[in-house]
Each structure stands twice: as structure tokens, then as C-alpha cells.
Amino acid sequence: MNDDLYIKETKQVFDAIVVGSGISGGWAAKEFCERGLKTLMIERGPVVEHRKDYIGEGIPPWQQPQRTKVNNLLVEQQYKIQQQCYAFNDATKHFFGNDRDLPYTTAKGTTFSWIRGNQLGGKSLTWHRQSYRLSDHDFAANSLDGHGNDWPIRYKDLASWYSHVEIHAGISGSKEDLPQLPDSEYLPPLEMTLPEKAVKASIEKHFPGRTMIMGRTAHLTKPTELHLSQGRIQCQARNECHKGCSFGAYFSTQSSTLPAAAKTGNLHVAANSVVQSLIYDEKTKKVKGVRIIDNNDLSEREYFGKVVFLCASTIGSTQIMLNSKSKSFPNGIANSSGALGHYLMDHNYNATAQGDIPGFENENYRGRRPGGILIPNFQYKPSLGSKHYLRGFAFSGGAYREDWKSMQHADGIGINLKQKLGQAGKWRFNLSAQGEMLPRFENHIVLHPTLKDKWGMPQLEINCRWSENEMLMMEDAAKVGAEMLVKAGLENVTSGATHRSPGIAIHEVGSARMGHDAKTSVLNKYNQSHDVNNLFVTDGASFCSSAVQNPSLTFMALTVRAVDYAAEQLKQGRI
Amino acid sequence: MKNTTQVDKPAVTDKSRRCFIAGMTAIFSAATAAQLLGGNAISVAVAYTPKANSAKTTGKIFSQTQMNQLKDICAVVIPKTKTLGAAEVDTHGFLDNQLFHCHTKDQQQQAKSILVKIDQVASKKFNKPFTACDKQQQYDLLTSLEKIQNGFNSEDKQNWKLIKGLIIFGYYTSEVGASQELNYLAVPGGFTGSVPYDKDGKGTGSLAYY
């Protein structure tokens, strides 16, 4: 990276300002830059340089201060919420937002686990890399059961953009021709273990209409020439991705989109720049730029651009818009509809089923697979749905051999214990549900009337709860999961529904939804705000429904499609 | 059998550590938390280095006598075989350090109280402290603890599980436990879904999340 890449003060008026440097922001920056447009990508947190700043990578447990555990006091005082995340440990904590510096509240009687990053690359460093296309069944779901508004797009609008991002990013998976899960441009899928293949065969035999496939992951199982030319090599199956990967083997801003953007010479990056609000010009009815508060010294500055893309994460983008008040927009910029902040959703991670797999004593696997299997949603249209609740869920999971971590709980000490823990244990299989959440007006975010954060910005109050639909779905998912495992011959099968907060799936979407009707939505079908034609929001905030699929691949596709549209509009002088 | 590949890693920046320490000044205001929790977030984050004399020094949590007792317990739970055991790799020293940094005052108290109870039962049954019992007596005593016999009760077993869990965690995250007793593959080279498992083969030591 050259020294000019990172800037602080500048008077330049950029063609495009991109707020956020994560999954969505990185793609927006790359696409604008590659079209010859001078682009400023803004990140509220500090720089994280590929390889150089992966300080937790490759450090074995005995070289870590507490063998991967985080100091108690540090967790309590700075990571009280982030520690709920499965990926949070001593070697990854620097890629999580500091809860002491980034407080928020939840409405009385509700909880929400807002898991987030606060550094260049955002959650593209710490995501789980599961990547799926939405289907027309997902786009039609709202209009079919009346919850939420109709998506203003359909699969055919996004298909070529999905391909575009997949070829660059590298998505591994298998062609399945499933109506509810369109295939991607693939690298070879990760391998299934033999017990997984046996469970798959059982599911397909006993439950027509259901299948089990290898999860589709943004990992280079077999890099193409394009990937190799980017300096990215084959995934080494360490499964320590959240620490950062110097092989560039999974998709992140650092490994993939940022280098491509920087290569054009059109990119500047302003890190440590918290966007406080958008600068709205009442006369031209356009956004002129952004107001910044410095992350470190709280000084103020401004950046100017011809078009502004908000890619600051679902809640982050909405927060900026709510905080951008003006005469024309007393309730937040581009909010003439009143929909801004509303229809917040997350995926529901509250049902599991698990059991022992008899046999396969002589079977093992080598390496730490960075993704598991998927049982795609088989209730993907109303005629296939449950009688008791709307929409559906998928299962992720997989088979593994027990190790010392689970085998230690049984009684026993001495040589027998050591012998047992030194070997691979029995095979187990688990399933975890990922359920769709209905869009509801009442699930929303507002600015807190009085509480402020370290940068003087109003804190958010999040008001989001599961409805009865979600709870019934999870109870059913636990039963359905157990039924499939019992049928597959598993022993000691257990299952159950839990009551974890919304937010913990880290797939929050909605709150600045797109729609045909400017009276009930914030954005049009190109992620362009109805009210302000040079303001776009292309991250999860724009979603009309949560679907069942992991959303990140769709963030990427929506973003690149919106850039293509915006760049053309700019060229034609229409924005 | 080690399978390690040297990854050419550039020098680690100290920026993150400086930010970490700079942020510590705000911690002084959270006195209540400090009282309830163990740990010292200000202390320099250095990996626990196994020491030869942990059993002969006062720990952060345990007295010197308790450290000595803990060493013997480690030796019983995971003894030396072809590979070193928990005591040889100073799991007792690790345990003391880990309880201090990552566990609550309540849990530290639980750990101390089970050591006291073990000594009480040893005195009653063998007329000597645990460390003066021979290996078989020590083994029988701890086995009876797990069976809730000999005057041990279920609360003792819960407290014991905390200690035993930490001994196991400490051993299998130590260099010997993770890379000699088990297979530690720092860079596996890719995922293979089906390989034969040799009955005398080892389990895998290194996993992403401990």
C-alpha cells in the first residue's frame, strides 16, 4: 500500500464516498474504483493491514497468555456483549467492538446482542463465510403471507451480479439444482466425512423433499488463476479464520476487494473516522458529504463526494441516517416514509439436535474443516410449510469425533484417563437451526433521547423481540432435527429449543428497507433512497425479509448492482 | 510426530498492545467489578511459562502447601507415561495462574476448598496429609471423590470438576500435551474427509476454539 492510500484531512471532492469497509463497503469501493471513479472509503475504526496486523494468527495455545481464554476483568469491562460470540477469544478480541466505548440500550423487557467489529474490514474478517444466493421463493415470501412489504426485485435482477462477486471472491460448493437455493459459480466443495454421507443418504431416503449438502463457503478450496494473481492461495484447513488469514484463503476486504480497489489508483481510505451524520444540502436536495468525528482525538472534519454509499452494517447505516436530521428530514435523512429504523430482523438460532453415530471406529478426517453441512430450508413456500407457523428454517451442523474437550467430563483419572483422552473418541453429529424471522414494524431502532457515546453521538435503543411465530418454529425445528437423527440410526439423540436473544446470529437485516412504494420504504429497487437520489444504502439495512440464507453474499450482489446503476446515473448527470 | 510448516510472518506490531495498555486507565473506575472478579487486567499479558519450582512457591491463589498438593493431584490425574504428565509440565502452576486471571473469586474459593477437603479426608483415612500418602492411596482417594464416597459429598464433586477440568485443559493446551501426546497440525494443508484411524493413533490436539 502506498502512503497516499490512507488520508485524514482532505479538500478533495470525491466521485464516490463509501461509508464502511466491511463486506459491502469493500465491494462498493472496488466497483467504483474499477470504473475510474475517485473513491473515498471511510472506516470508523483503525487500519488492519492484511498479514501484518493479524496479531493472533498462528500462535499456539501454550504461547497465549491464558491459553486462548480472555482475562476476566477485561471481558467484564470491555467485551461483555462481544464475549457472547462463538468467535470471540483471546486471539480474535481485537477484531471486535469494545463494548465500553460502544454502548447501546435495549427497550425495557427486551434484549439484543449486537455483535460487531470496529476496524478496517469490519466483520469480513470475522464472518463465518457461509455464502448462499436468495431465490424467488425468498423474494416472494412477504407478498405471499402479507408480512413485510414486497421486495422490489426478483432473482433475475441479481443473478448475474451474484456470479460477478462469486468469481472474484471464490465460493466453494456443489451444484444441486435446488429451487430454494440457486447454485453459485463454484470452486470444489469441502469434503464430507463418511458418517455425514450416511446421514445424508438416510435423510434423502426417509424424508422426500429434504436433502443435506456441503455448506457453501467463501474459501479457496482450489484457487483460480485470478485468485493466485491476487496473492491468495488454497485454504489450509486451519479453521482459525477469525484471527485473519495470511494465505488470503477466505474472502475478506483485506484479502480480496481492498487490494483490487487499491490497484486502480483511484482509492483513498480514511480510517479512524466515525461518520456522525450526512451533510444534506436543502437547495440541491442532495447529500454533499459526511461529518466525521475522529476515532482517537475526537476532532471534527468533513469529506465531500458526489454520491454517498452507506455500507456501515445494518444497524450502523441506519444509525447514521437517523442522526442526520435537517429541516426537510426532522426524523432522519431519507425518512419521509417513517420506515427508517423499522422492520429489524435477525436469524433465529434457538434449536439444536445432536446424537452419537454408532460405528465408523476406523474412520477419521484430517485437517479442521472451516465449514459444515447444510440441510436447506424445505418449507420454502406456503404449500410446503407447517400448519402452525409461517416460513421455515435450515440446519447447519456436521459430524466430528469427540476429543478431550468433551471426553473429560466423564469420571476417571490416571493412566486410563490419559489413554482415553489421547485418542479420538466416538463420532457425534449435531444440527443447529437457522430460522427466518418475520418482518414487523414494532421491531425497530431509535436514537436514545439522552444517552450519548464517547464520540458525542446519541446511543441507539434497540427494540426487537421474537414473536410467537419464531418460537413455534424453533420448537418444531428441535423436533424435526431429532426425528431425522433418530431415523438415521443415531443413538442418545437429544434436542431442544433455547431462548437466546435476537442479534446473536449476527445476521441482522432490515431497518432501511427497499420497496416499490416511497410511502412505506426507504430505498428503491436499486438501493437508492427514494428521497435523496445520490444516497444509497446497500448493506443488510436494505433487506425486506430475512430469508433463511446467510445474508452476506446478497450484501455483495446488491452492492455491486447498485454501484453499476449509480455510476451510470453519475455519468448521465442524473445524480 | 510433528507437522508444522513455517509461515513467513512479518514482525508483529506493538500498536495493539499499546492501545490495550492505554485503555487500561479507564479500568480504575470499575472497582466493584474488580472485587467480584479475579484477574488483573493491568498485568502484562505474557504466556504462562512452566516453572520447575511452582510446588515450592506461594501461588497467586494457593498457598505453598496447596501448590505442592496440587502438583501431586496433577500427577495422579494425568501421570507420566511415554510422554510427560501434567505435573512435569507445571500444570499446577498454570492452574493457579489461570484461576487468578480468568475465574471469579467464587471459583477460586471452590478450588481452595476442595483441596482442603481432600486433605481432611486423607487425614481421616490415612492419618496423613494428601502429599504424604503414596501414589495408590492418592489415586484411591480421588477415585472415591468421583464416586462420592469416603465422606465426600456432591458439592465436593462439583468443586473437584472445576479443578479436574482445569488440569485437563492446562495439560492439553501445553506444548507437550497438544503436540506430543496428541497430533498438533498447525497447518494441515487442506481438509481430507476420510482417512483411516489407527487404533493406537492419536487424537488431534489443535482445534480452533478451546
B194 close contact with A: CB closer than 8 A: yes
Looking from the CA of B209 toward its CB, the CA atoms found within 13 Å total 11
Question: What is the least distance, in Å, from the CA of B120 to any CA of chain A?
Answer: 20
Q: Count CB neighbours of B126 within 10 A.
A: 16
Mean pLDDT value across chain A: 97
Question: What is the least distance, in Å, from the CA of B110 to any CA of chain A?
Answer: 17
Distance, C-alpha A278 to centroid of its chain: 24
Residue from the list B7, B178, B199 with its beta carbon closest to the beta carbon of A246: B7
Interface of B with A in 96-155 (CB under 8 A): 97-98, 101-104, 139, 142-143, 146-147
pLDDT (mean) for B158-172: 96
Q: Do B197 and A362 touch (CB under 8 A)?
A: yes
- Report d(CA A12, CA A498) in Å as an integer: 52
Beta strand A351-357 with A491-497: parallel, antiparallel or unpaired?
Answer: antiparallel
Is residue B187 over pLDDT 80?
yes
Question: What is the least distance, in Å, from the CA of A364 to any CA of chain B?
Answer: 5
| Residue for grid cell 484430517 | A366
Query: What percent of chain A lies above the pLDDT cut of 70?
Result: 99
Q: A272: left (phi > 0), else alpha (psi -120 to 50), else beta? A: left
Residue from the list A73, A362, A418 with its beta carbon closest to the beta carbon of B81: A418
Is residue A521 over pLDDT 80?
yes
Q: Do A55 and B37 touch (CB under 8 A)?
A: no
The pLDDT value recorded for residue A143 is 98
Is residue B12 over pLDDT 70?
no
Question: Tens of pLDDT along A32-62?
Answer: 999 999 999 999 999 999 999 999 999 999 9
Nearest to A555 by CA among A492, A520, A508, A522: A508
Is residue B201 over pLDDT 90?
no
Which positions in chain A touch B170 (Cβ < 8 Å)? Answer: 67
Which positions in chain A touch B104 (Cβ < 8 Å)? Answer: 72
Residue from the list A62, A77, A367 with its beta carbon closest to the beta carbon of B192: A367
Q: Do B189 and A237 touch (CB under 8 A)?
A: yes
Residue A157 banded pLDDT, cuts 50, 70, 90: very high
Nearest to A358 by CA among A409, A428, A431, A432: A428
Contact B204, B183 (CB under 8 A): yes
Residue A280 banded pLDDT, cuts 50, 70, 90: very high
Mean pLDDT value across chain B: 81
Number of H helices, E strands in chain A: 12, 19
Q: Do A424 and B45 touch (CB under 8 A)?
A: no
By three-state DSSP, how is residue A63 classified? helix
8-state DSSP, A416? H
Q: Do B210 and A405 touch (CB under 8 A)?
A: yes
Query: What percent of chain B lies above the pLDDT cut of 90?
Result: 67
The pLDDT value recorded for residue B20 is 41
Question: What is the least distance, in Å, from the CA of B124 to any CA of chain A?
Answer: 22
Q: Do B16 and A53 touch (CB under 8 A)?
A: yes
**Amino acid (1-letter code) at residue A424:** A
Residue from the list B37, B179, B188 with its beta carbon closest to the beta carbon of A72: B37
- Report d(CA B188, CA A309) in Å as an integer: 40
- DSSP element (H, E) containing A15: strand A13-19
Question: Tens of pLDDT along B15-26?
Answer: 444 334 333 333
Question: Tens of pLDDT along A413-459?
Answer: 999 999 999 999 999 999 999 999 999 999 999 999 999 999 989 99
The pLDDT value recorded for residue A3 is 58
Residue from the list A55, A363, A417 with its beta carbon closest to the beta carbon of B194: A363
Is residue A2 over pLDDT 80?
no
Q: Do B45 and A401 touch (CB under 8 A)?
A: no
Q: Do B202 and A100 touch (CB under 8 A)?
A: no
The pLDDT value recorded for residue A4 is 80
Question: Tens of pLDDT along A122-138?
Answer: 999 999 999 999 999 99
Is residue B5 over pLDDT 80?
no
**Amino acid (1-letter code) at residue A42:** I
The pLDDT value recorded for residue B172 is 94
User: How would you class B82 by CB atoms within 10 Å of its CB: exposed for 0-12, middle for 13-18, buried for 19 or more?
Assistant: exposed
Question: What is the least distance, in Å, from the CA of B172 to any CA of chain A?
Answer: 8
**Largest Cα–Cα distance in chain B?**
59
The pLDDT value recorded for residue B202 is 75
Question: Tens of pLDDT along A361-404?
Answer: 999 999 999 999 999 999 999 999 999 999 999 999 999 999 99
Contact A243, A370 (CB under 8 A): no
Question: What is the least distance, in Å, from the CA of A536 to any CA of chain B?
Answer: 34
The pLDDT value recorded for residue A1 is 45
**Amino acid (1-letter code) at residue B63:** S
Q: Do B37 and A76 touch (CB under 8 A)?
A: yes
State if pTM tops 0.95.
Answer: no
For residue A163, CA distances in Å to A148, A168, A305, A540, B159 come to 28, 9, 29, 19, 56
The pLDDT value recorded for residue B204 is 72
The pLDDT value recorded for residue B46 is 66
Nearest to A437 by CA among A524, A530, A540: A540
Question: Tens of pLDDT along A294-337?
Answer: 999 999 999 999 999 999 999 999 999 999 999 999 999 999 99
Is residue B173 over pLDDT 60?
yes
Among chain A residues, the shortest Cα distance to B166 is held by: A408
Q: Do A408 and B197 touch (CB under 8 A)?
A: no
B84 close contact with A: CB closer than 8 A: no
SS (H, E, C) chain B: CCECCCCCCCCCCCHHHHHHHHHHHHHHHCHHHHHHECCCCCCCCCCCCCCCCHHHCCCCCCCHHHHHHHHHHHHHHCCCCCCCCCCCCCHHHHHHHHHHHHCEHHHHHHHHHHHHHHHHHHHHHHCCCHHHCCHHHHHHHHHHHHCCCCCCCHHHHHHHHHHHHHHHHHHHCCHHHHHHHCECECCCCCCEEEEECCCCCCCECCCCCC
Among chain B residues, the shortest Cα distance to A426 is held by: B203
Q: Do B190 and A234 touch (CB under 8 A)?
A: yes
- Report d(CA A293, CA A271) in Å as an integer: 11
Which positions in chain B touch A421 (Cβ < 8 Å)? Answer: 168, 172, 203
Question: Tens of pLDDT along A555-571?
Answer: 999 999 999 999 999 99
List the single best residue of B28, B161, B191 to mutate versus A (max A Cβ within 10 A). B191
Residue B199 banded pLDDT, cuts 50, 70, 90: low
Nearest to A464 by CA among A439, A494, A496: A439
Supply A429's cell numbers: 453429529
Question: Tens of pLDDT along A172-226?
Answer: 999 999 999 999 999 999 999 999 999 999 999 999 999 999 999 999 999 999 9
CA-angle at A568, arms to A565 and A572, nearest 5°: 135
Instruction: Give the total residue count for chain A.
Output: 575
Question: Tens of pLDDT along B43-70?
Answer: 345 678 888 899 999 999 999 999 999 9
